Structure 1
Amino acid sequence: MIDAETLAEGLAKALARAGMGPPDGLHRLTGGATMESWRFSSGGEDFVLRRAPSLEFMADRPFGHATEAAIIRAAREAGVTAPEVVAELAPEDGIGSGFVMRALPGTPNPKDILAMEDAAGLLKQAARDLARIHSLRPADLPDDVPVMDYREAIADLRAQFIEAGGDRPIIALGLKWMEDNCPPPCEPVLNHGDYRMGNILAEDSRLTGVLDWELAHFGDPHEDLAFGCMAVWRFARYDRPALGLGSLENYLAAYEATSGRKVDRDRFRYWLVHRTVWWAMGCLKCAKVWRDGSDRMLERVVIARRTSEQELDLLMLLEEDAPEAERTQRVDPGIAAPAAQGEATSGEIAVAISEWLATLKDRVEGHDRFQLAVARNALGMIARDDAIMPTPEDADLAQEILGGGIWLDEPGLLAELKEAALEKLAADVPKYPALEAAWKQWVGEE
């Protein structure tokens, strides 16, 4: 890990090439699960360095930071509220790979954005930005921006699933549904790839920036539209399906009006399922990179347990394909924690540690404060249940689903999967907003 002094020296070299002065007040911002973000000032103006810790870190990515910077510049020229890239790191700077952007006003905090007065206005601005992003074609950007092959993408997710154990029946259900319902290719447009609450900036109900372009690629515009509408990215506003800001009808109408493109609801649903499976596998992959030592950040093990969020969301998306008799069957997850007796349990020890960590909150700041919150979330997972893991029976069922031997018309299968999803998510992330909705729908009680 590069110390702050070395980072400042290398950054000064990059800034000098752009005719700028050395950085002042360099400090790391919170978050940044894959890339680091550092804020600083130069010449009386504020900037942000987006950086990978090493050149090796970028080796397996489809494109590097030079291409990402080119994508951002092209999007900005197309009228997107993208940041202005002012400088790029070079190998001789000795501080990894990255680029510098002019800092934008506004907050990325979903809680603050979703509470803004004119959510409907923000939603229209988001639709406008996506339409402008989708106006870009392969000829507008560097040759190494990938073009998605839908079938290859499914095959890659299936391979990841098998590598991760192939033992999650609900994910297997999603993969098989995708294989059976994959739409034909359409004219590729630039997809941001991660357009959602958490990657946009807003201030006073005004969209001020779109961040994190590292997953950009060419593909179906419905993919970008659907991704931001996933339940996980609505945060506390599960009741507002479009980015947590409003209704799907208003969002898609605003997009159609700006883009001149008609939204196909079947394609939209396909990509909603696809990206839910994609993020479920992304969560599982976090455990793998932590175990093999390639990334030992605390967030990795916590995000890995968020797979259960996507399993529940996926089942809620797919259950409409089941016969009515299976959909309407009430379930009984049977969640009841036994009263603790005798010596302290592992869960109680985890609670005690979490409570002690809470006393340190006011003594730490910046990224360490963020890590402390993640640590407390991790301990909460242990306290609730440290033993919800797939069984050999789960693996057999998942493989039977993948092979087409069993489907949602099998009597009792949907109810079995619902009960498992509720039990697992209640242990992993009990405050996940979709859990309450699923409980009302499937169990029939609060």
Structure 2
Amino acid sequence: MKRALDRCGLGAPSDLARLTGGATMESWRFTSGGEDFVLRRAPSLAFMEGRPYGHATEAAVIRAAHGAGVTAPEVITVLEESDGLGSGFIMRALPGTPDPRQILSMDGADTILKEAARDLARIHSLTREQVPQDIPEIDYRAAIADFRQQFEEAGGDRPIIALGLKWLEEHCPDKCEPVLNHGDFRLGNILAEDGHLTGVLDWELAHFSDPHEDIAFGCMAVWRFARYDRPALGLGNLADYFAAYEAESGRTVDRARFRYWMIHRTVWWALGCLKCARTWREGADRTLERAVISRRTSENELDLLMLLEEEAPEEERARPVDFVRPFREHGEASTAELAIAITEWLETIKDKMEGHDRFQHAVARNALGMIRRESEIMPAKHELKLSDGILAEELSLSTEGFLAELRQHALEKLSADVPKYPALAVARRKWIGEH
């Protein structure tokens, strides 16, 4: 760190502490010369292999956005091999919190939403000449083909994801004039303080594409967190979000393209969660968090089914769902009870943890909860033949009883993986009348 800071005329770092957020990259906060900074780095050099571009390009995009009036951080320096820190860069820390729970509890959510729309429009105004030439452009059809390959490599045995893939192939829109997309614009990647937006973070997925892709991504149910009822970034309604974006950008939001990209990015994130298990197994990132994120695939499956079922026949949407209820065992301790025992022990050492260890402690308890609930609920297996049937056009949402079967799969799996996921309660009310 000292070697990297020497290039900027800054003193040695102090108070170095790892931040808890970041699903892919590590973030470390520290002080130098009385100012706060953040180091963003990859967990390993192997983790960077196969990515479309490196941290030098990401840093250049952030600098361009900062210069265009986006509330992006100021990049101080990009790491060099001689620093011995791997791949990454250092930026000046911004005020505010990225914690969605804290942001959603702030007064002035409508103001944060309008400021987010403003920043997104400014990002979309950046031209190719203002950013590095290795920023890729998305080919819609090629992206779908890549999804299909990822799906097959992951086993090809998730019927709801197969349904999403088939829908994308049948509804892919014509190409429009591409703009620079942030690629991950959502709660969790923005900072806010006192009811105002103070920063836009995590630019590693920037690319050129349809502007509706960026607009839709932050509106996915998974990124609304506790506010499922607020479809625009968990902060407000879509009409206000679209109006603020249109006023700043001069573009009109096309609702049909918006829906397409909602489904496209839900499939993308479902496959991304699946890929986390492979990343963990292969050792590129052997953290507990990586393995646990892979189980969030079920969140996307439920969200995807709730999006797609809008096009199912009315008689299929009205068909009842046979939801499997948890059961209890007697005799020796079950797998579920062993998981409970370990969870209770972990609670006794919680106060001895701090920083990132405390965060990993919470992740470990979540993982044990998944084990416990899965053994209790016994979710139905995702059968390869169902996925194959969808892709071969032998099964669809018009097939008698198929939607009800997929609903049952989604409810059982998510009830084991993430039972507090807000959309699950909505689905239970909608599908089985549970209150």
Indicate whether the TM-score tops 0.5.
yes
Question: Deviation digits for residues 64-100 of structure 1, max 9, x if unmatched?
Answer: 1111110000001111000000112111111111111
Give the gaps of 5 or more residues in structure 1: 1-10
Match of 2:425 in 1: 436
Amino acid at match of 1:330: P
- Given the alignment of the two structures, is residue 355 of structure 1 paired with residue 344 of structure 2, yes or no? yes
- Given the alignment of the two structures, is residue 43 of structure 1 paired with residue 46 of structure 2, yes or no? no
Match of 1:383 in 2: 372
- Give me the whole-angstrom Cα distance separating, in 1, the residues matched to 2:282 and 2:379: 22
Match of 1:7 in 2: none
- Which residue of the other structure, out of 57, 67, 72, is the alignment partner of 2:57? 67
Match of 2:268 in 1: 278
Checking the alignment, whether the CA contact within 8 Å between 1:54 and 1:95 is kept in structure 2 is no
Pair 369,20 (structure 1): closer, same or farther in 2 beyond 3 Å = same
- Which residue of the other structure, out of 2, 13, 24, is the alignment partner of 2:3? 13
- Which residue of the other structure, out of 331, 350, 375, is the alignment partner of 1:342? 331
Secondary structure of 1:385's counterpart equals: helix
- Give me the whole-angstrom Cα distance separating, in 1, the residues matched to 2:395 and 2:63: 49
Amino acid at match of 2:346: L
Checking the alignment, whether the CA contact within 8 Å between 1:167 and 1:390 is kept in structure 2 is no
Match of 2:102 in 1: 112
- After TM superposition, the structure 1 stretch with the greater mean CA deviation from structure 2, 137-146 or 262-271, is 137-146
Checking the alignment, whether the CA contact within 8 Å between 2:44 and 2:285 is kept in structure 1 is no
- Give me the whole-angstrom Cα distance separating, in 2, the residues matched to 1:16 and 1:37: 20
Compute the displacement of 1:389 (Å).
6.3
- Given the alignment of the two structures, is residue 369 of structure 1 paired with residue 346 of structure 2, yes or no? no
Match of 1:3 in 2: none
Checking the alignment, whether the CA contact within 8 Å between 2:298 and 2:413 is kept in structure 1 is yes
Question: Deviation digits for residues 141-185 of structure 1, max 9, x if unmatched?
Answer: 111111111111111111010111111110000000000000111
Compute the displacement of 1:54 (Å).
4.0
TM-score of the two chains, using structure 1 as the length reference: 0.95
Compute the displacement of 1:228 (Å).
0.4
- Which residue of the other structure, out of 57, 74, 80, is the alignment partner of 2:47? 57
Match of 1:26 in 2: 16
Compute the displacement of 1:337 (Å).
2.1
Question: Deviation digits for residues 220-269 of structure 1, max 9, x if unmatched?
Answer: 11011111001111111111111110111111111111110000001000
Checking the alignment, whether the CA contact within 8 Å between 2:322 and 2:408 is kept in structure 1 is yes
The percentage of counterpart residues that share the same residue type is 69
Secondary structure of 2:330's counterpart equals: coil
Checking the alignment, whether the CA contact within 8 Å between 1:233 and 1:243 is kept in structure 2 is yes
Compute the displacement of 1:293 (Å).
2.4
Pair 56,397 (structure 1): closer, same or farther in 2 beyond 3 Å = closer
Task: Point out 4+ residue stretches in structure 1 off by more than 6 angstroms.
Answer: none
- Given the alignment of the two structures, is residue 412 of structure 1 paired with residue 398 of structure 2, yes or no? no
Match of 1:8 in 2: none
- Give me the whole-angstrom Cα distance separating, in 1, the residues matched to 2:334 and 2:202: 42
- List aligned pairs for 1:117-266, cutoff 5 A: 117-266=107-256
Amino acid at match of 2:374: D
- Given the alignment of the two structures, is residue 309 of structure 1 paired with residue 299 of structure 2, yes or no? yes
Pair 184,312 (structure 1): closer, same or farther in 2 beyond 3 Å = same
Checking the alignment, whether the CA contact within 8 Å between 2:44 and 2:284 is kept in structure 1 is no
Question: Deviation digits for residues 349-406 of structure 1, max 9, x if unmatched?
Answer: 0011011101111111011000000000000011111454635xx2111111112222
Q: Aligned pair count?
A: 433
- Give me the whole-angstrom Cα distance separating, in 1, the residues matched to 2:48 and 2:267: 24
Amino acid at match of 1:141: V
Amino acid at match of 2:38: V
- Give me the whole-angstrom Cα distance separating, in 2, the residues matched to 1:388 and 1:444: 20
- Give me the whole-angstrom Cα distance separating, in 2, the residues matched to 1:84 and 1:135: 19
TM-score of the two chains, using structure 2 as the length reference: 0.97
Checking the alignment, whether the CA contact within 8 Å between 1:330 and 1:444 is kept in structure 2 is no
What is the RMSD computed on CA atoms of the aligned residues?
A: 1.2
Match of 1:293 in 2: 283
Give the gaps of 5 or more residues in structure 2: none
Secondary structure of 1:148's counterpart equals: coil
- Give me the whole-angstrom Cα distance separating, in 1, the residues matched to 2:177 and 2:335: 54
Question: Deviation digits for residues 159-215 of structure 1, max 9, x if unmatched?
Answer: 010111111110000000000000111111111101110000000001000000001
- Give me the whole-angstrom Cα distance separating, in 1, the residues matched to 2:356 and 2:254: 42
Match of 1:319 in 2: 309
Question: Deviation digits for residues 126-149 of structure 1, max 9, x if unmatched?
Answer: 110100000012222111111111
